[in-house]
Structure 1
Amino acid sequence: MGKIIVNSNNQTTFNNNVDYCVGTGRLGLALTEEYLKELKFVQDMIGFSYIRGHGLFSDDVAIYQEYEEDGQIKVEYNYTYIDRIFDRFLELGIRPYLELGFMPEKLASGTQTIFYWKGNTTPPKDYKKWTNMVIALLEHLKNRYGQEVTSWPIEVWNEPNLPGFWYKADMEEYFKLFKETFLAIKTYDSRFKVGGPAICGVRDAEWIKGFLDFCKKEGICPDRITRHHYTVEFPERIGHYDYSKLEDSKMRFENLKSTRDIVDSYEEFKDLPIHLTEFSTSYTPRGVIHDTNLNAAYLARQLSGLGDVNEAYSYWTFGDVFEEQGVQNSLFHGGFGMVAAGNIPKPTFWTFYFFKQLKLFSQDCVYRDDNAVIVKSDRGYAGILWNIDEEDQVKEISFAFGEKQNKSGQDAEEYTLVTKTVDETCCNPLKLWHDLGEPAYPTREETELIKSAAWPLVESSVVKADDSVALVKVLVRKNGVVYFTLTKRSFTPDRGYDYDKVVSFH
């Protein structure tokens, strides 16, 4: 039995920024109905502040246009689709985190593309036309949405350290892109915050150090450092699907700390904010772990610690409308999303929901370890417990309130314990889908049935606090995540109502 002792006078660091930003597939997908349904569900239930996705300048959004007139090639911009997309985002209470990419075909210096939807990943053939396009968009957005646009975060490109995302992973060419873009934006309006280098995995320390050396030499200071964070070993591909082994959480946190240490080693850049503009377990959109309860438990530990050295972190992605490797083949296909088609919440969805509820309850953390985080407010306590791939456990939690609750012979204070449990037994839509025969395209009735298995088990009890201490026991099964609240109970029964008599009446 795991024992936890919670003292109301304790104070522990816990930076819970779970709702700052969430990822999405390419922005053009926001023109589809299913995408917007999934985003609305996520916003209604959790409510993220920003959304970041690829393809802002890709041809399906159609911003950059060229035409010939009087024998000259001229440029014009088309904001029809981006206005439609951003209007809907704002209606849903979420704002763009502007990732500047990929390259419009007519502005590209080469033909290299990535993904099913062929995002061009080569540098611009004309940097002035590139920066003109960026500034024209920012000006348009300010005219349409007002001065608040200057608070929308900006990131230059995506994963330039990977040759698929940036031609030959050319470090010096990316540094040029960053400098030209950064200076153009700051000249236009210095209030915009611009970050980079948005790297992922490969040679991360070399890239971060090289980027900061370049910025120091050029006398520019990025407003934030951005990078990505995935936590699996190289996957095994079987058919359509990728099978990956999770990496050790401690090792992954140490990797994040190494980036913080590199940044802080420069006097010019010490304490610059770091944004994880993408994070998840598997880095492929067919990573079967994404649909599991294990994913939810592992990410609970991630969310408990990502704020230690990073100002912000953005889960990749909110929903399963995603087409990097083509249109998905089945309902549960290992998609990045925390929500599957039909607004079926995966177990991971509830991990994010629970951390948002924890933030709403209080930011005063009184206990944190590798498998738990607990906060307090004047209402009582709230916490999240998780169990990563271990046998079922009973957590015994002793809450010390700091002063005796039963003064002057009064009865002990009563508290209401509410638990919301997500585990393989009680909240496992993947298992029900499997037991139904793994229908690739479930009917409406099958979808509703699977969705009914995708909600936490809610249980409650009354706990007495004797001599300033309340003791509770919470079952956390293998790959489970449990959210609980322990709040003061105000018992005000109506005249003549006897609950014990009601439930025992024959």
Structure 2
Amino acid sequence: MTRIKVDSSNRISFNNNVDYCVGTGRLGLALTKEYLKELEYVQKLIGFSFIRGHGLFSDDVSIYHEYEEDGVTKVEYNYTYIDRIFDSFLKLGIRPYLELGFMPEQLASGTQTIFYWKGNTTPPKDYKKWTDMVIALLEHLKGRYGDEVSSWPIEVWNEPNLPGFWYKADMEEYFKLFKETFLAIKNYDSRFKVGGPAICGVKDKEWIEAFLEFCKKEGLHPDNITRHHYTVEMPERIGHYDYSKLEDSEMRFANLQSTRDIVDSFDEFKGMPIHLTEFSTSYTPRGVIHDTNLNAAYLARQLSRLGDVNEAYSYWTFGDVFEEQGVPNSLFHGGFGMVAAGNIPKPTFWTFYFYKQLKLFGDTCVYRDDNSVIVKRADEYAGIIWNMDEEDISREYEFEVFDGQYKLVTKTVDEDCCNPLKLWHDIGEPAYPTAEETQLIKSAANPLVGSDVLEATSSKATAKFDVKKHGVMYFTLSKRTATPDRGYDYEKVVSFH
């Protein structure tokens, strides 16, 4: 048993920006019914402000077109699909975080592509046509949606430090792309916030330092630095699936701190916001850990500290409609999404839901450690407790309150009470579950709600929480006012024979 006294006078820095942004599969998938059903579900229960995905300029969205007229090559733009996509986003209360990529085939300098859907990852053959396309889109969006578009964040490309995402991982060529794009956007409307270099993992220190040196030399001042954050070792591929071991969370936090330290080492850029425009555990869309309770517990710790050195962070992704390695083969296939097909919430979904509830409750953090975070308003508390270990844990918290009765409400997600993966497995792992099977699996995907009445004496209330392995628990402790009807006696009711 771990006993903890919560000091209500504590004021602990805690940037809970859980609902700022969420990731998505390529934007073209937003034209499908299942995609929008999953996004609507996520927005109804959590409600993110922005959504970021690949493929804004890929050919399935069909914005860029070249044609020949009188022997002259001309350019025209088609916004039919992007309007439909963004209209759907705004209807659901979410706005685009504009990742500029990939390259339209007619504008590409090469034929290299990535993913099942063949996003072109080569530089433009003509930088003027590239920047014209970018500005024309921004102008169109402002004409359609109004001046608010200038508040939509912009990121130049995706993971150029990886040769699959940017031809030969050519640093110099990416810096040229960033400069030309940044200057064109700022010249059009300086209010747009433009960031980069959107790197992931490989040579991150080298890339961040070189990018800032380049910006310093060229007199550029990005509005934020963007990078990605994944937390598993190299996976083992078996059949369709990737099996990964989680990395030590302290090591991963140290890696994030190293980026903060590099940025702050430049006088010109000290304090510049850092956006994690993608983060998760596994970096593959067949990463089986994504569907587990362990994933939910590990990310609970991540969310408690990601805001320490990053202004914003975006989970990759909200739903399982995703096709980087092809159309999923089964319901639970290790997809990135926090929601599976049929709007089945995975345990990780509830970790994000709990952090959103914590944010709505209040922003005065009075306690935080490696396994819990607690906030306070007046004499009420809310908190999240998680257990990444293989053994159950028991924790007792003493809260400073006024005397009287308090109601304790808990919502628990663990391998026993909220584990749709296990139910799916137990009924035979149906790859394509029927409507009846889907409802059954979904019935096992909700938190277990518990409650108790605590009697506070000497301005203290003590609550004990038992959290099973790989569990996440959300609780609220607030003043209880009993308003029984005439003649109603609860104790008599439950003891009546």
Q: TM-score range by the shorter chain?
A: over 0.9
What is the percentage of aligned positions where both structures have the same residue? 82
The 3-state SS of whatever aligns with 2:285 is coil
Counterparts in 2 of 1:176-325, with a 5 A limit? 176-325=176-325
Residue identity opposite 2:266 in structure 1: Y
Distance in 1, matches of 2:38 and 2:206, equals 38
Q: Which moved more, 1:353-362 or 1:466-475?
A: 466-475
- Is 2:491 the counterpart of 1:496? no
Give the root-mean-square deviation of aligned CA atoms: 0.6
Distance in 1, matches of 2:197 and 2:470, equals 35
Distance in 2, matches of 1:325 and 1:35, equals 17
- Among 407, 417, 429, which residue is 1:438 paired with? 429
2:390 matched to which residue of 1? 390
Residue identity opposite 2:123 in structure 1: P
Q: Which moved more, 1:389-398 or 1:82-91?
A: 389-398
- Is 2:441 the counterpart of 1:450? yes
1:484 matched to which residue of 2? 475
- Is 2:13 the counterpart of 1:13? yes
1:100 matched to which residue of 2? 100
Distance in 1, matches of 2:131 and 2:58, equals 15
- Gaps in structure 2 of 5+ consecutive residues: none
Counterparts in 2 of 1:141-160, with a 5 A limit? 141-160=141-160
Q: CA deviation at 1:379?
A: 5.4
Distance in 1, matches of 2:271 and 2:43, equals 31
Distance in 2, matches of 1:65 and 1:297, equals 47
The 3-state SS of whatever aligns with 2:97 is strand
Distance in 1, matches of 2:442 and 2:335, equals 17
Distance in 2, matches of 1:177 and 1:87, equals 29
The 3-state SS of whatever aligns with 1:472 is strand
Residue identity opposite 2:109 in structure 1: S
Q: CA deviation at 1:89?
A: 0.1
Counterparts in 2 of 1:109-124, with a 5 A limit? 109-124=109-124
1:87 matched to which residue of 2? 87
- Is 2:487 the counterpart of 1:505? no
Q: CA deviation at 1:224?
A: 0.3
Distance in 2, matches of 1:431 and 1:128, equals 54
Residue identity opposite 2:136 in structure 1: A
Q: CA deviation at 1:390?
A: 3.0
4+ residue segments displaced more than 3 Å: none
Distance in 1, matches of 2:15 and 2:454, equals 29
Deviation digits for residues 188-246 of structure 1 (CA, Å, limit 9, x no counterpart): 00000000000000000000000000000001100000000000000000000000000
Residue identity opposite 2:18 in structure 1: V
Distance in 2, matches of 1:104 and 1:227, equals 24
- Among 418, 421, 435, which residue is 2:409 paired with? 418
The 3-state SS of whatever aligns with 1:336 is coil
2:362 matched to which residue of 1? 362
Distance in 2, matches of 1:125 and 1:340, equals 39
* Residues 379 and 400, structure 2, Cα contact 8 Å, conserved in 1: no
Distance in 2, matches of 1:214 and 1:65, equals 32
* TM-score (normalised: structure 1): 0.98
Deviation digits for residues 14-60 of structure 1 (CA, Å, limit 9, x no counterpart): 11000000000000000000000000000000000000000000000
Residue identity opposite 1:99 in structure 2: E
Distance in 2, matches of 1:50 and 1:434, equals 34
Distance in 2, matches of 1:393 and 1:371, equals 10
* Residues 155 and 196, structure 2, Cα contact 8 Å, conserved in 1: yes
* TM-score (normalised: structure 2): 0.99
Q: Which moved more, 1:420-429 or 1:2-11?
A: 2-11
The 3-state SS of whatever aligns with 1:271 is coil
The 3-state SS of whatever aligns with 1:475 is strand
Distance in 1, matches of 2:159 and 2:379, equals 44
Residue identity opposite 2:462 in structure 1: L
Distance in 2, matches of 1:497 and 1:65, equals 73
The 3-state SS of whatever aligns with 1:106 is helix
Deviation digits for residues 346-372 of structure 1 (CA, Å, limit 9, x no counterpart): 000000000000000000000000000
Q: CA deviation at 1:400?
A: 2.0
- Among 468, 472, 476, which residue is 2:463 paired with? 472
Distance in 2, matches of 1:184 and 1:379, equals 52
2:45 matched to which residue of 1? 45
Q: CA deviation at 1:4?
A: 1.8
Q: CA deviation at 1:67?
A: 1.1
Deviation digits for residues 318-347 of structure 1 (CA, Å, limit 9, x no counterpart): 000000000000000000000000000000
